[in-house]
Amino acid sequence: MKFIQIMISVWLLLVLNSFSFSQDFPGGQMELPYQEVIANGRGAIINNDQAKAEDDAVASALRNAVEQVIGTMIQSDVLVQNYQTIEDRIYSQSRGYVERYEVLGKAKEGEYVLVVTIKALVRKGNLKDNLAALGLLITRKGKPRVMVIVDEKNMDTHYYSWSIDMNTTENEIMNDLLEKGFPFVDREASMRKIEKDAVMATLEGDAAAAVAIATQSGAEVLIVGKAVSKVAASGPSALAQAGMISCQATINLRVLRADDGTIIATTGQQSAAAHIDQLSGGTQALKKAAKLAAEDLSGKIVDRWQKDVYSGTTINLRLMNVESYSDLVKIKNMLPYYVRGVQNVYQRDFSQNTALFDLDVRGTANQVAEELVMKDFSPYTIEVVNVTQNTIVARLGKQNLQEETSP
């Protein structure tokens, strides 16, 4: 009887395990966290610049490789509205990245298009703990340079944010991000160029001041905020009896795209430390809080860049000399069809003959700028006057139709 009971228990256990396995892995097969795929990408050959075309084609192939893998993950997430599949938004939340790749071949497609074939190892999830893949991501993003500006007050000592020397919070954040491969501008050289008022305005949330700092320092990403340490209002009685002082630090930081002031990440962290000297205790508490802040921000920055590189990003286009609203509408409608990589165009403002657009693009601001100056927008012409990582400033012209039709 006991033997029969044991056999029944074993059978039930096997059935439950089989059910659990089939629930976790449909078809009874384990889903691997990575996949090796072959993907193609295309780049436009402009002014016979094949090196640039190859780089653009590789970037396109990397996105296509991720889409091949992630596409199998989102089939159940496809949205249907009014009997139409909304497929343009499928990849708005990237859940994969390329760890490594190799170019298998290159070939021309016609006279002005280069096709590159790659073999890529695509992993699923976030890459913040994969340093090799993080290095590739930072490179594909254009190696944005970072600058940290934190207004720090440790007990009664105020380490002003416009000082050339770095304070405790700035040092800890910079060291943590440097270990992960983030490039930084030269702090000492940059702070000599930056005006005190611009720093203070940036800390208070002034986007225009952030852009001014970016222009003066060469940074593409700003980490700004405030850090304060003070003696804790109350602490364990055992600490006081031992002659120790309980100190508390609070840090609040924002990460900005420096050229347009867009906030891409925020964090708020607290930490405590005990010491016989309150200044030393405050320093220790600030270091702990700064490490927590750096870890949180690095993950959020990487997540944002992962989406930018493998799914698409938003760039700002400021178009000057737009004579009428009719001209604005015509150009707005042309952009998705004439400029490769532009998926959506959002009109933000039109005043004083200047139009402001947000463009959802698969590519970079430089690629879009090249398309703007090379494509035929007749009867209009577009002259690009400034390009940064996230913004384009251009001037609209209109061809003289009477001169073109005159004999």
pLDDT digits (tens, 9 = 90+) for 174-225: 999 999 889 998 877 777 777 777 777 777 777 777 778 877 888 899 999 9
Q: What is the dihedral of CA 11, 15, 17, 18, to 10 degrees?
A: 130
Q: What is the pLDDT of residue 246?
A: 85
pTM of the entire predicted model: 0.68
> Does 167 share its domain with 267?
yes
Based on the fold, state whether residues 12 and 45 are members of the same structural domain: yes
- Give residue 95's pLDDT band: very low, low, confident or very high (50, 70, 90): low
Instruction: Give the residue from 316, 328, 305, 340 showing the smallest Cα distance to 46.
Output: 340
d(CA 379, CA 399) in angstroms, rounded, equals 5
The DSSP bridge partners found for residue 319 are 355, 394
Q: Are residues 270 and 165 in the same domain?
A: yes
Of 140, 174, 196, the residue at which a domain comes to its end is 140
Q: Percent helix, strand, coil in the chain (nearest 5)?
A: 40, 35, 25
Strands of the sheet containing 34-44, edge to edge, are: 34-44, 113-124, 96-108
Predicted local confidence at residue 335, as pLDDT: 92
Whether residue 92 sits in one domain with residue 41: yes
What is the pLDDT, as a whole number, of residue 72? 46
CB of 155 closer than 8 Å to CB of 229: yes
Question: Which is more confidently placed, 301 or 88?
Answer: 301
Q: Are residues 50 and 122 in the same domain?
A: yes
Residues 14, 116, single domain; the answer is yes
The total number of structural domains that make up the chain: 3
Q: Are residues 117 and 153 in the same domain?
A: no
Is pLDDT above 80 for 91?
Answer: no
Range in 76-85, 105-114, 232-241, 286-295 the model is least confident about: 76-85
Same domain, 319 and 304: no
Residues 263 and 115 in one domain: no
Pairing of strands 96-108, 146-154: unpaired
Does residue 404 surpass a pLDDT of 60? no
Last residue of a domain, one of 89, 119, 140: 140
Domain that holds residue 84: 2-140
Within this chain, do residues 244 and 375 fall inside the same structural domain, yes or no? no
Rounded to the nearest integer, the mean pLDDT of the chain is 79
At residue 29, does pLDDT exceed 80? no
Residues 158 and 303 in one domain: yes
Does residue 382 share a domain with residue 361? yes
How confident is the model over 229-246, as a mean pLDDT? 72
Residue 247: CATH number of its domain: 3.30.160.150
- Residue at a domain's end among 262, 281, 308: 308
Percent of the chain whose predicted confidence (pLDDT) is above 70: 77
